Amino acid sequence: MIQITNRGRSPVQIIVRSKIDSHRLTVKNIPGIGKGKNVFLLEDERVTEYIGRLERAKLISTKYIPDTESKKGE
């Protein structure tokens, strides 16, 4: 799993692969810092190159989380 954190105050849209069909894309909105919900967990197979571009622009930060840790909190 990849933890994506919005680093700004404004919302950010990320383009990820769809859960239904891996050839389709979908958009996820991550709220800004002030909302308290600026973290999004994404499965490894749904990552696109657009996420890398947003990270290089310093709009988001990513962190790899092993699957065992992510299921512990549920």
Give the per-residue pLDDT at 64: 93
Where are the domains positioned within the chain?
Answer: 2-72
In this predicted structure, the answer to whether residue 71 has a pLDDT above a threshold of 90 is no
Q: Is 15 exposed, middle or buried (0-12, 13-18, 19+ CB in 10 A)?
A: middle
pLDDT digits (tens, 9 = 90+) for 9-39: 999 999 999 888 878 999 999 999 876 788 9
- 54: tokens are 């947003």
Cα–Cα nearest to 54, from 24, 14, 9: 14
* pTM given for the model: 0.80
pLDDT digits (tens, 9 = 90+) for 46-70: 999 999 999 999 999 999 998 776 5
